[in-house]
Amino acid sequence: MVKALVAHGAAAELSIEDIELPEPAPGEVRVKVRAAGVCHSDLSMINGTLTPEFPLILGHEAAGVVIATGPDVTRVAEGDHVVINWSPACRRCWFCQQGEPWLCVTTEGVSSRPRGRLADGTAAHVTLGVGALAEEVVVSEQALIRLPPELPLAEAALMGCAVLTGVGAVRNTAGVRPGESVAVLGLGGVGLSTVAGARLAGADPIIAVDVSAEKESLARAAGATDFLLSDKTLPKGVRSLTGGRGADHVFECVGRATTIRAAWQSSRRGGNCVVVGMGARDDSVSLSALELFHFARTLTASVYGSADADHDVPLIAAAALDGSLDLSALVTHRIALADVPEAFERMRRGEGARSLVLFD
């Protein structure tokens, strides 16, 4: 039995419960979780945005140590330090064959998968095939990416979602080049990771935007050169910092129609507006046919940073090791499993950035 954070329904009270995980089947691996991030996607599982199966073990962003392997496992071995990729590509479907593993059909629209049982025998589901807010997980070996043992496992957990998403949006989706201007709207874990990715790319200026003035110090620590409060004057403020044009690349990391609209208006003519945040299906964005033509902007989305985790995670790990990427600057709270509900409340209030659950 292992301890895990379980939700029994949308808006239901969360509880720490004993979970019986299955023994690793062929191609599966058991991982002792050392750290797990509290991501907005976890909140989406219980606030009605997504519709997973319950009871549900929350969590999908984590790093840990391999403690057991099933038959035929060749990718990792016991004792390996690993980060968990919640969206492992099958490498066989049409999207994977086109070089778009982040759109792999095996994970499209899958919010939960059955795995393990509660103490009373009830079948449990795990968030995004992982269920990382638990002492241990059992996952496919394809979901694991080995890490250098000298990289701290605590911060490395962020590479499983927030950092891969944010850095990937800059590097892969937008292809930001040195000297290009960037604005980032929404400074949670993904937004700050996007700011950090812009610094890695050599962007200048890097304009961080949030509704909370308290986010300025976090944004500057991540690499922002400027900070603006989000209000109706935002597009004008961005233009004032970019030669009157607007930013070359604007990243929306909130997932709301009003913020997407503000990001669109803050990008220059011929610029690039990238939606990174996941929003609600009934929250519509309106653009006129004339402005689409006149401004010649590109509006696109970035799913999981348009990343191939097997390729991108090692690059991010190298940047963390050589000091060009400070993962610790993205963490505002280091907590225990019992503190996750309060972390969700901070997230709802727009406070802090990434909360990191430490198990050891």
pLDDT digits (tens, 9 = 90+) for 230-273: 999 999 999 999 999 999 999 999 999 999 999 999 999 999 99
Q: To 10 degrees, what angle do helices 215-222 and 189-201 make?
A: 30
Average pLDDT over residues 133-142: 97
Does the structure show a pLDDT above 80 at 109? no
- Superfamily of 2-162+306-358 according to CATH: Medium-chain alcohol dehydrogenases, catalytic domain (3.90.180.10)
Mean pLDDT of the chain: 96
Share of the chain above pLDDT 90, in %: 91
Q: Can you say how many angstroms the Cα of residue 338 is from the centroid of all Cα atoms in its chain?
A: 22
**Where are the chain's structural domains?**
2-162+306-358, 166-303
**Interval 24-75: pLDDT, tens:** 999 999 999 999 999 999 999 998 888 899 999 999 999 999 999 999 999 9
**2-162+306-358 and 166-303 have identical folds:** no
Count of other CB atoms within 10 angstroms of residue 231:
10
- pLDDT band for position 281 (cuts 50, 70, 90): confident
Q: Please state the pTM of the whole predicted model.
A: 0.95
Pairing state of beta strands 28-38 and 61-69?
antiparallel
- CATH code for the domain defined by 166-303: 3.40.50.720
Quickly list H helices, the chain: 40-46, 94-97, 153-156, 162-168, 189-201, 215-222, 234-240, 257-266, 289-295, 309-321, 340-349
Please choose, from the candidates 293, 299, 291, 195, the residue with its C-alpha nearest in 3D space to the C-alpha of residue 257: 299
> What pLDDT, on the 0 to 100 scale, is given for residue 132?
97
Both structure tokens of 348: 């709802």
* pLDDT tens, residue by residue, 173-231: 999 999 999 999 999 999 999 999 999 999 999 999 999 999 999 999 999 999 999 99
